[in-house]
Structure 1
């Protein structure tokens, strides 16, 4: 009898997470805590549990995945917030990142809110949060990132805080909303990039909205990479309510390709910048962009056409 009971117990433990969906499917929220494996010790990678929770949420069409308040999750690999899933951080929940993997990919119609992501490893050179044009974010998409703090605490000033990237036939990222985002201590704070897919096809990163964005201690604050128009357009993106803290590590506040992009906000402590190079650059691939930022004109380099500042 004892042997039979022991075998039954071990079978339950071996099934692990496969037993849980029947129990968890009764609620609208999916807690990452229910998917954690506490046996991994100091080298655990909580990204795997986060991904299992997201996969369960997507498969069972639940409301959201939650991270516990006031808890630090150790992450060493990346995960994907799938279409239709909302990932919600509890108050003061933190992802502490080691290694050099892209931390989080956000798919079309996904949402991430209230999070803090901390890079603690000086070897990190990847993207923290990434959107990819393969998902083809159109005008009907409901993708959003809200109340996020992304900080490189390693002191390396490497990596990209927030990346939007399109390369491939008809790949695009458009009409995505980013609200109350803070990015601190990266080589590039926010990067939008569209590459020519070739073959007479187009890719684009257009018409995205960044509202109430704070950038601090980044080597390059905002970078838009593309062309004025097709085949790889990077245009019509609006950055409003910018608050940009310049430091001794700042090389450039803004460098832009594209057309009809708007940048509005404040830059602080220009006297801390340790060089005389331009802080704002409109490249030869720009037209009709507008920057309303309190930077002296001698620190603005304009190679484009009909840009305003």
Structure 2
């Protein structure tokens, strides 16, 4: 009788232990799932979808520019992290918009911004980020800037501005407009320490332009110390155009172009045309023989000093009127 009671007691303890273990496992799984869901919800709460700002019932539109700007404005005012363009979708726009301070515009996989008309497409404010997208110019009348930064935002060394993993292509075959434009003209207007990485620019009049103008009244403007890494330039009339002076009051100096890959075509005229000082150009040039005529591919103006070119360009295709430029 005692043996039987002992067995029953051990059996009861065993069943209780198994029940406790199963209960703990079940709760752990539920808690873990809830934790993942909570994390996903937290991430979603920081992301704003453009589609949420389309008012018609179909959720589609012939012009997404207004919805994109409203999504960006909401993200900026509510301190959200990013605006997301849906993957595998074409967003047609008919007017430009501004990516505001502190906002990240992220393109989904294979999402495309299709530009119809002629206007500045995308203005980038200080501390904003654009990444992972394709911008296509569809209209041959286009002759404006695609991505534009203006020096009145005063991009200093603490700025977090980034443009990365982008393809900018003029599909109209017009070879007009500017792919990436930095401009400073005004009292202490400047663009410095901005990072541009992994950007392909195809089919424009000018791929990349840096322009600093004299603001007058004894003040300065400058575009200095920006980094352009792993840039691809294809079928552009002018690859890189730097406009300014050797030093103040309108200086465009110390900009680094590294890992350049430049494909020249029959429509190309210049690889680099530069004013200013201490800019560096490093990379490869392809098919220089396709350029029509014998004009120089690289032009250092009389307003240049101590620029460095490390690219496979023949010396007879370089015009140097400056001082102490190296190539």
TM (normalized to structure 2)?
A: 0.85
- Secondary structure of 1:114 counterpart: strand
Q: Which has the larger radius of gyration?
A: 2
Partner of 1:216: 234
Structure 2 stretches of 5 or more lacking a match?
1-41
- Secondary structure of 2:183 counterpart: strand
Give how far 1:43 is off.
7.5
1:59 has 2:74 as partner: no
Distance in 2 separating the partners of 1:38 and 1:145: 32
Residue from 244, 252, 261 that aligns with 2:270: 252
Partner of 2:174: 156
Partner of 2:225: 207
CA contact (8 A) 1:242 1:266 kept: yes
Partner of 2:188: 170
Deviations 1:174-215 (A, max 9, x none): 000000010000000000000000000000000000000000
Give how far 1:38 is off.
4.5
Distance in 2 separating the partners of 1:141 and 1:66: 22
Give how far 1:271 is off.
1.3
Distance in 1 separating the partners of 2:136 and 2:323: 39
Partner of 1:137: 155
Deviations 1:240-277 (A, max 9, x none): 00000000000111101110000000000111111110
Distance in 1 separating the partners of 2:174 and 2:322: 33
Distance in 2 separating the partners of 1:218 and 1:305: 28
Partner of 2:282: 264
Partner of 1:283: 301
Partner of 2:197: 179
What is the number of equivalent residue pairs in this alignment?
286
Distance in 2 separating the partners of 1:219 and 1:303: 22
Deviations 1:133-175 (A, max 9, x none): 0100000000000101000000110000000000000000000
Deviations 1:10-29 (A, max 9, x none): xxxxxxxxxxxxxx998110
Deviations 1:223-242 (A, max 9, x none): 00000000000000000000
Say what the alpha-carbon RMSD is for the aligned residues.
1.6
Q: 1:40 to 1:104 in 2, by over 3 A?
A: farther
CA contact (8 A) 2:51 2:59 kept: no
Structure 1 stretches of 5 or more lacking a match?
1-23
Partner of 1:83: 101
Q: 1:40 to 1:124 in 2, by over 3 A?
A: farther
1:127 has 2:151 as partner: no
Give how far 1:42 is off.
9.4
- Secondary structure of 2:230 counterpart: strand
Residue from 237, 242, 245 that aligns with 2:255: 237
CA contact (8 A) 1:25 1:60 kept: no
Q: 1:28 to 1:290 in 2, by over 3 A?
A: same
- Secondary structure of 2:258 counterpart: strand
Q: 1:30 to 1:303 in 2, by over 3 A?
A: same
Partner of 1:107: 125
